[in-house]
Amino acid sequence: MEEKIIVGLDIGTTKVCAVVGRMNEHNQLEILGLGHAASEGVRDGTVSNIAKTTEAIDQAITDAENDSNIEINVVNVGVAGKHIKSFRQHGSITLPHQEDEISVTDVERLTNDMYRVITEPGTEIIHVLPLHYTVDSEEKIKDPVGMAGVKLEADFHIVTANSNSIRNITKCIERSNLESDQMMLEPLASSMAVLSEEEKEAGVAIIDIGGGTTDIAIFYDGIIRHTAVIPFGGDIITSDIKQGCAVMQNQAELLKVKFGQSMAANTKDSDVVEIPGINNRTPKEVSIKNLAYIIEARMEEIIDLIKAELKDSGYLDKLAGGLVLTGGGAKLRNLQHLFEYKIGLDTRIGYPTVFLGKSHGSEKVKDPKFATALGLALAGFKSIDERDKDRPRSIYQQPIHQEEKKRFSTEKEKVVDTTAPRGKNIFSDFLQKAKDLLIDDYEDDEDYKD
């Protein structure tokens, strides 16, 4: 049997990351390769420049291929952005009287009906997630398969995305000569990498702080209950630092990453950092406490929006597992304590190690910023909903020898001549296929005569 290898591709606002993985004998993800590149064509989680995004994908995929010695053809892709919306929908079907019990097929039929629900113009459904079922008069059933009944009903959590945003992601994937197997909401992917089943059962909210957005997913009783997107992330903090400290964008990012803190009370008044002046001008001193005040003010605003979202969901008081912070923005110093102070729930930083096995690449990805890419790789082996007994489609990617790998890399670097006439090639292919069919028919006739 061929070995199943899955590639997760995270197209983020600040980076594009590709993770190549396979499941080992202990049912843990073994990392075979990692590639990442700076993202300059994505804004607020949405592709804004096809060419630059494609270039970043090419770089990340090439690095992952070089690291893993595997030719990548198919990827699982994350979807994010402020265009993401969700709502609840009720559905029902009547079962044939001759059926003895509810089958997986019946549940699938009810779920598939939800993809026909009318959504806002210009949007499409990317996830249909069942909350609970009703069989005849019996309510709040977690899994109805095997039960006897005539009418099957369910409440669903439906996630939609802007159709043009999905098309732009697809264009970038296709221009990189790749195929998308699954498209998954990024906080759901991240949850697969950082949340334990016990946390999902107890009630937990994952807060994925990216560059352009902050994504929320709430689990309770082992089931996804709510998703939301806050249109602010790490980039807006960098912009605040740029304006508040009167520095350049790249200097603001360095200040945030190296010296930034989310609680000004934990800093000293005397601590300063010196920034080189522009074009031999006098170096500029930045107060660490003032830097922390800027970060804290923006983070408090984001946390207030998160708390309001948790309250509106109805699960704020049911999260015994507390909050799990992940994504690149989760690495801000003291952010965990600020969340605990503002929201009043136990909080931890989500490192993607829950299902991660030991491998040569495992240490490199033990970072919250890789949680989404790892989750997308895990999505090829596991389901978001544990009740879903369907196995994911088998997508196999073959290891290649060094000679073939070198040839493949060289071919990918060749520039396609877009001025060459394509009609002749297409027509030639058509003639060849027609010729092959005629030969096959002729041979079949000869066999029949015999």
- Is CATH 3.30.420.40 correct for 199-352? yes
Calculate helix-pair angle for 335-343, 288-313, nearest 10 degrees.
Answer: 50
- Give the residue, 449 or 289, on which the prediction is more confident: 289
Residue 368, pLDDT above cutoff 70: yes
Confidence of residue 394 (pLDDT cuts 50, 70, 90): very low
Confidence of residue 3 (pLDDT cuts 50, 70, 90): confident
**Cα 321 to Cα 346: distance, rounded to the nearest angstrom:** 7
pTM of the model: 0.81
Residue 384, pLDDT above cutoff 90: no
Residue 194, pLDDT above cutoff 50: yes
What is the SS3 assignment for 413?
helix
Among 162, 309, 212, which residue's Cα sits nearest to residue 10? Answer: 212
The whole-number pLDDT of residue 189 equals 94
- Is CATH 3.30.1490.110 correct for 85-162? yes
Mean pLDDT across 161-182: 95
What are the residue ranges spanned by the domains of the chain? 85-162, 199-352
The whole-number pLDDT of residue 138 equals 92
Among 240, 354, 364, 254, which residue's Cα sits nearest to residue 293? Answer: 240
The whole-number pLDDT of residue 353 equals 82
Mean pLDDT across 74-92: 93
Residue 446, pLDDT above cutoff 60: no
Instruction: Please work out, in degrees rounded to the nearest 5, the angle formed at the alpha carbon of residue 97 by the alpha carbons of 92 and 102.
Output: 55
The whole-number pLDDT of residue 360 equals 64
The whole-number pLDDT of residue 416 equals 33
Residue 319, pLDDT above cutoff 60: yes
The whole-number pLDDT of residue 99 equals 62
Mean pLDDT across 88-94: 94
DSSP structure class, residue 269: T
Other beta carbons less than 10 A from residue 449's beta carbon: 6
What are the tens digits of pLDDT across the range 134-154?
Answer: 999 899 999 998 898 889 999
What are the tens digits of pLDDT across the range 200-222?
Answer: 999 999 999 999 999 999 999 99
Q: Could you tell me if residue 438 is left (phi over 0), alpha (psi between -120 and 50 degrees) or otherwise beta?
A: alpha
The whole-number pLDDT of residue 24 equals 85
What is the SS3 assignment for 202?
helix
What are the tens digits of pLDDT across the range 396-408?
Answer: 333 333 333 333 3
Beta strands in 72-150 (DSSP E): 74-79, 85-94, 123-135, 138-141
The whole-number pLDDT of residue 101 equals 85
The whole-number pLDDT of residue 417 equals 35
The whole-number pLDDT of residue 437 equals 46
Mean pLDDT across 253-276: 91
Q: 433: Cβ–Cβ under 8 A, 6 or more apart, which residues?
A: none
Can you give the length of the chain in residues?
450
Confidence of residue 435 (pLDDT cuts 50, 70, 90): very low
- Give the residue, 422 or 217, on which the prediction is more confident: 217
What are the tens digits of pLDDT across the range 221-246?
Answer: 999 999 999 999 999 999 999 999 99
The whole-number pLDDT of residue 66 equals 94
Mean pLDDT across 238-255: 93
Residue 301, pLDDT above cutoff 50: yes
Stretch among 67-81, 199-213, 349-363 having the lowest mean pLDDT: 349-363
Beta bridge partners of 209: 214
Mean pLDDT across 84-97: 90
